[in-house]
Copies of this chain bind each other. A is one copy, B any other.
């Protein structure tokens, strides 16, 4: 079993130096907060994650879930760990106090999310999905629905799910066919099958509140005819007590490459009389309500890439420090493999990309807080645009990185990495789904190029480039950090060129733009990561100057930034070149591939 320790030093560094904490705690609702309190909360989260969740990660993977006659048993220990999780309130950190949550900033919730998912992604998917359901209900449900369902969802007594996918409607949500027929009492009867429903059935909570996309008989075709329904596993009486079992049934669970500890269910709605459901929000506007859930979920999935990479990194670092193999180049004495340069190259590749992703995740989360709470509408608008632009970038870039980095974790273990008992391979297996669910990398790239970039003519993108350039200039003026500054400036130039190419290209030939949309997205993520490293290097240099000596952590930040520039950011030029000239062969290939 591998240990896990929350990366508190890096998290605190980001909160103290890369986020604008003063501004954050000045927002309405956060008056009681302080940097010290945030640090204390994260420390406590780390303690819980290491002590309660992390030990169940490998055992949950090995045991998996067991389906039997419609019921699903989670692995040994999950039930008790979940109970402690919700009792401690980790499940509703960012939920408004008026709904029973802790009312903490998204930025804090994001940091806690990384910690908990690193410890046990399969388990915390359950409260994670519940959070999504809470968000959707807060945004779209009636006051009566909120009163009836939110308290138990927020307390964690019940859990929530999101039901979009059907066998013939995956990325193309508009193709879904699940039917909802209105009844005399205003409720609906649902009929249809949903697949890939995470925690669609399980034994952690008393009730499960399914949020289900379906069509009414008179609904228009496509995405404009989709409504959102609330379908509880057990019907809920007006006093909040549980009533009859609803006509929704888990038909089977999938045998998956990873996240074995979490059930992925096929749910049959209405095999008998029809599943009772309640319309949430307006008819035919279901996708909008679900999008609230999806945007948030995309950030969380991106965070999985960070979390799994961090867990893999800690395990690989421990192994590299312990495993004796080969001799020291100078002394000829046997050494731990961390002494071999290529092993350190792999470890730095993990560390530097994790730090870039982590910082970006929290910067986006802080922008989300500002977008929701800041008094100035212009500040809210600007931050909202920033979050929307970077959500697909972060989701796809961080999960793609997650696969590469967890695989490096396996590689550092050599042959032991391929043996399942070591546990390194689990992180890779768990990471692969990140680039698929909540919209594949291709879908994120299409969202970035086709919506986020196109709809405002690149205004939010231009603002991002300006913010980045400010940092590059400050670095270039700095006595010791000029190399990082010129690397970043080069990366920004590549990103700008690529953006200036793809924006008009999408207008003139959308297919051509989509053919190079993923390289463009990866370019944006890579440069955004370098931007965060640049900011981190400036802060580290300031602290070193103030303290007179670096210490391991701050030295590590500077080395990490330089490694990122030399080994990762260098790819920016290549990615921009692919955006510039890579679409033609993709178009020509239709002749023989289709």
Contacts and interface: CB of A to CB of B under 8 A. Distances in A.
A415 B170 contact: yes
A37 to B, nearest CB: 29
B585 A348 contact: yes
A594 B338 contact: yes
Interface stretch (A114-122, A323-331, A452-460): A323-331
A272 to B, nearest CB: 27
Interface in A118-164: none
Contacts of A570: 574-575, 577-578
Interface string A555-594: 1100110110011001111110110011111111111111
Nearest to A445: B342
Contacts of A338: 593-594
Contacts of A518: 342, 345
B563 A582 contact: yes
A407 B512 CA distance: 24
A519 interface: yes
Contact of A584 (B171, B428, B562): B562
Interface in A480-536: 510-512, 514-519
A321 B436 contact: no
A425 interface: yes
Interface stretch (A25-33, A103-111, A254-262): A254-262
B415 A196 contact: yes
- Copy number in the complex reads 2
B556 A594 contact: no
Nearest to A424: B257
A3 to B, nearest CB: 17
A288 interface: no
Contact of A552 (B341, B553, B575, B592): B592
A435 interface: yes
Given A339-B594, A442-B340, A555-B591, A345 B586 contact: yes
A592 B578 CA distance: 37
A258 B257 CA distance: 11
A559 B171 CA distance: 28
A148 to B, nearest CB: 32
A172 interface: yes
Nearest to A196: B415
Interface string A431-455: 0110111001110011000000000
A432 B431 CA distance: 14
Given A584-B562, A593-B317, A436 B420 contact: no
B559 A589 contact: yes
Interface in A142-197: 165, 168, 170-172, 175, 195-196
Interface string A12-29: 000000000000000000
Given A345-B515, A584-B562, A256 B414 contact: no
A291 to B, nearest CB: 18
Contacts of A437: 415
Contacts of A510: 329
B592 A556 contact: yes
Contacts of A320: 593
A238 B344 CA distance: 53
A593 B171 contact: no
A421 interface: yes
B441 A257 contact: no
Contacts of A256: 418-420
A403 interface: yes
B559 A588 contact: yes
B592 A567 contact: no
A410 interface: yes
A93 to B, nearest CB: 29
A578 B352 CA distance: 15
A343 interface: yes
Contact of A344 (B348, B432, B590): B590
A47 interface: no
Closest 5 CB pairs of A and B: A342-B442, A341-B515, A563-B585, A566-B582, A570-B574
29 contacts: A168-B325, A172-B325, A172-B326, A257-B425, A317-B593, A320-B593, A338-B593, A338-B594, A339-B594, A342-B515, A342-B517, A343-B442, A344-B590, A344-B593, A345-B586, A346-B442, A347-B593, A348-B586, A410-B432, A411-B441, A415-B437, A429-B429, A556-B589, A556-B592, A559-B585, A560-B585, A567-B582, A571-B571, A572-B574
